[in-house]
Amino acid sequence: MKQTLQLRLGQHLTMTPQLQQAIRLLQLSTLDLSQEVQEALEANPLLETEEEFERFSQNSDETAQKPEKQESTAEQLNDKNNEREVQTESPEMPEELPVDSEWTDVYDSYTPPTNNGSAESMDSDFLAQRGQAQTLQDHLLWQLNLTPFCPTDRVIATMIIDGVNEDGYLATSPEEILDALEDEEMTLEDVEAVLHRIQAFDPPGVAAQDPRECLLIQLRQLSEDTPYRQPTIRLCEDFFKLLATQDQAQIKRRMKVTDDELSSMTQLIRTLHPHPGSLIAESEPQYVIPDVFVTRHNGTWRVELNPEAAPRLRVNTDYAKLIRRADSGKDNTFLKNHLQEARWFIKSLLSRNDTILRVASRIVEVQQGYFEHGAEAMKPLVLRDIAEALEMHESTISRVTTQKYMHTPRGTLEFKYFFSSHVSTSAGGECSATAIRALIKKLIAAEKQTKPLSDNKIATILSEQGINVARRTVAKYRESMTIPPSNERKRLV
């Protein structure tokens, strides 16, 4: 095959590094953006915050107004530094030590006074334990260190704690724990005895093997003078299946109790925790910083950028003045490159802020009914609607609405909360999925606890209001709000 050279004219799009940076900044959350800005400030000497510039200018003015006082203070500091050098006797210490480095050295060399206790006593420090987030296993192991166990029982207890799941239930049976120990001298009774001791730990009901045992553990830990404690223990111990199936008539007949007595027992059960593990924090709370504020002013809704979420940067003019156009030296080239990077970074930030503000303003304009009347007035909205109104691409709107939040009179909400699909109404209009969820939640909140509404009944009620949804759609929306079905919402009395 003969090889030839050909010239062709064509056009193609190329994504420059600056454009890539702008797109990346656009999709960052406020917390991630703060970290990105901090890294840029540390890497580029020609970037600085406006707050830092104002603070430096203010200090310079004060310095010019009081030169004599500054000189006197400098002399005093020099005298103190000389005294410190004599006292420490460390001639290898550099003369100009950064302030942060000095503080680091001080804290690194400082050792707080300690007692002569063992490592276990340090692990059992209550204040340290309460001052940090922990998993359920950490919480149980901390209590294990405070409880006297022989070495053999401590091994069993550790394996039991390892077998406790996030809900607080023992996912491993005592038989499996015994087999894993591989000790012929141990018996199942030994494992069960240690298990009973672990079940006395906090939170109440932990390490139970099923919901029935979980409730019984919590009931038995209540004070003996708790009203209806003993009959409630009997109810859970002997008639738990009837309790689970809400068979009120059978329970009253077999326990020979009245409606009021059964009501008091069920009220006591409702004070218990069927998932005790959820009472212990598993991770530190995640905080969000709103990107915009939505407020009502003179009858209109106003959208403003959060100044704390929109960092103000500027080019360091002192370094910029050192740049010489005709100079191609290494230092001058370094400053030129960083000056260009600083300008692009600032431009990307301004573009990000402008895009977020435009998208948020359009969302508020479309969803005014929500801000004034609640979720039931939410309109159908998709990314394409905002993209067409602002003449942007859908992918850009998707980036802007991801991990971006607005602080409103109805709470701090993610931008994506205001987007939902539509359902046709009998009148020819449209209703958003968010509004339908709000209606379903409102109907369930107003239902009779002894006769909850089924999904089919809710669909019928919505149909009467002109909203045509199938039973399966109602079930899907109900499950998305973590609302149990009607048979689980039913109360005995």
Per the structure block, which two tokens stand in for 320? 């910029």
Query: pLDDT for 150-189, tens place per residue?
Result: 988 999 999 999 999 988 999 888 888 888 887 778 889 9
Residues 6+ apart with CB under 8 A from 41: 47, 48, 49, 313
Question: Is residue 122 over pLDDT 80?
Answer: no
Number of neighbouring beta carbons within 10 Å of residue 139: 21
Pairing type for strands 411-414 and 405-408 reads antiparallel
Question: Is residue 133 over pLDDT 60?
Answer: no
Number of residues in the chain: 493
Alpha-carbon span 308 to 427, nearest angstrom? 46
Query: pLDDT for 303-325, tens place per residue?
Result: 999 988 878 899 988 888 888 76
Query: pLDDT for 229-255, tens place per residue?
Result: 999 999 999 989 888 888 888 899 999
Q: Which domains does the chain have, with CATH numbers?
A: 134-279 (no CATH), 292-414 (no CATH), 422-489 (1.10.10.60)
State how far Cα 69 lies from the chain centre.
50
Banded pLDDT at 61 (limits 50, 70, 90): low
Contact 444, 481 (CB under 8 A): no
Per the structure block, which two tokens stand in for 78? 């020099």
Instruction: Give the pLDDT confidence score for residue 207 in this predicted structure.
Output: 93
For the ranges 4-8, 160-164, 324-328, 345-349, which has the lowest average pLDDT? 324-328
3-state secondary structure 197-247: HHCCCCCCCCCECCHHHHHHHHHHCCCCCCCCHHHHHHHHHHCHHHHHCCC
Q: How large is the C-alpha radius of gyration of the chain? A: 34
Residue type, 336: K
Instruction: Give the pLDDT confidence score for residue 395 in this predicted structure.
Output: 87
Alpha-carbon span 345 to 365, nearest angstrom? 30
Section 291-306 average pLDDT: 93
Is the pTM higher than 0.75? The answer reads no
Per the structure block, which two tokens stand in for 441? 């939640």
Alpha-carbon span 131 to 125, nearest angstrom? 10
Q: How far apart are the first and last CA of the chain?
A: 90
Banded pLDDT at 218 (limits 50, 70, 90): very high
Query: pLDDT for 409-424, tens place per residue?
Result: 999 999 999 998 777 7
- The dihedral through the CA atoms of 456, 457, 460, 462 has a sign that is negative
Contact 446, 416 (CB under 8 A): no
Instruction: Give the pLDDT confidence score for residue 128 in this predicted structure.
Output: 44
Contact 449, 442 (CB under 8 A): no
Greater model confidence, 220 or 3: 220
